[in-house]
Structure 1
Amino acid sequence: MNVAERSERMKQALRDAGVRMTRQRQALLRVLATAEDHPNAVELHRRVESQVPGISLSTVYRTLAALEEQGVIHRHQFEGTPARFEHSETEHHDHMIDIDTGKVVEFCSDRIERLQAEIAAELGYDIVHHRMELYVRKKKRT
């Protein structure tokens, strides 16, 4: 899905939720649709404010809540950090969070996915959904 389609999907989700589409919200959707990182609400506000001065932080929070409720964005609450957001069109992936810098690294491992499925099957379960977060620190060079 390209940025324009993603942005349009978010607009439709807000309309479906009964949220009025304003210039500020349209700018927020563009920022969200193009984000390749995992920005928090304050960072999203900063990015949108540079394009559309005057957007309130409460508008950002309300819009994010509506988008999350409609299932078009995911909220990630990593330990010790404010909630971060990403659009939901991404392929399944897991996250590594650098505890020193706060950097979030996405990764996907077929080996891990297979192992999780094997463990669940051995215990008599099918995986319906999962989320993996690894909290990491760069190795010090010796």
Structure 2
Amino acid sequence: MSGQSEHFHNADTDTLKSRWREYLQANNLNTTQQRELIVEQFLGCEEHVSIDELLALVRKSNRKIGYATVYRTLKLLVDSGLAIQRRFGDGQARFEVQGDHHDHLICTKCGLILEFEDDEIEILQDRIAERLGGFKVTRHRHELYGLCGKARGVPGGRCPNEQA
């Protein structure tokens, strides 16, 4: 999978699975073994995952699961509020488990995705919004695109995506 990340999720898997079951019940949707396997694998992901990447993970347990089933299940996870769909400029949708707010650094060459939190940035953007007409930020998406040290050709530069 591309995109190393540090996750800041605070909801445990049991809570997320409970919310998933409530969503299915409230929307009169069936629980299937395939759907549950996909959800289980997705909730265990610590990285931003594409449909193809999730399909490869799921097929380790059940080779019969198809792309369309993974796609539809991810759509349900997004609709239920348990997943967020992101696009980081590589033309591919990626999904992550809904958790605490965080921002992203994305290497446009190697695909590295780093998550970070910074209280100073949050305070600054609220100040800017207030200064520009009393705007109140209710949500935002902060994505910084650039090149990791290795991709920039820095002598001795490394890509955090590579194992030490």
- TM-score (structure 1 length as normaliser): 0.91
Aligned residues: CA RMSD: 1.4
Asked whether 1:14 is paired with 2:17, we answer: no
State the percentage of identical aligned residues: 33
* Residue ranges of structure 1 left out of the alignment (5+ in a row): none
**1:41 and 2:51 are equivalent in the alignment:** yes
Partner of 1:95: 104
Q: Please list the CA deviations of residues 104-142 of structure 1 after superposition, one character each: whole Å capped at 9, or x if unmatched.
A: 110011111111001001012110110011112023324
Query: Higher relative CO (CA 8 A, sep ≥ 6), structure 1 or 2?
Result: 2
Question: How far, CA to CA, are the matches of 1:59 and 1:16 in structure 2?
Answer: 20
> What is residue 122 of structure 1 aligned with on the other side?
131
The residue type equivalent to 1:114 in the other structure is I
Does the aligned pair in 1 maintain the 2:105–2:145 contact within 8 Å? Answer: yes
Aligned to 1:80: 90
Find runs of 4+ consecutive structure 1 residues off by over 3 angstroms. none
TM-score, normalised relative to structure 2: 0.80
Alignment length (residue pairs): 141
Residue 29 of structure 1 corresponds to which residue in structure 2? 39
Deviates more, 1:127-136 or 1:16-25: 16-25
Point out the structure with the larger helix share: 1
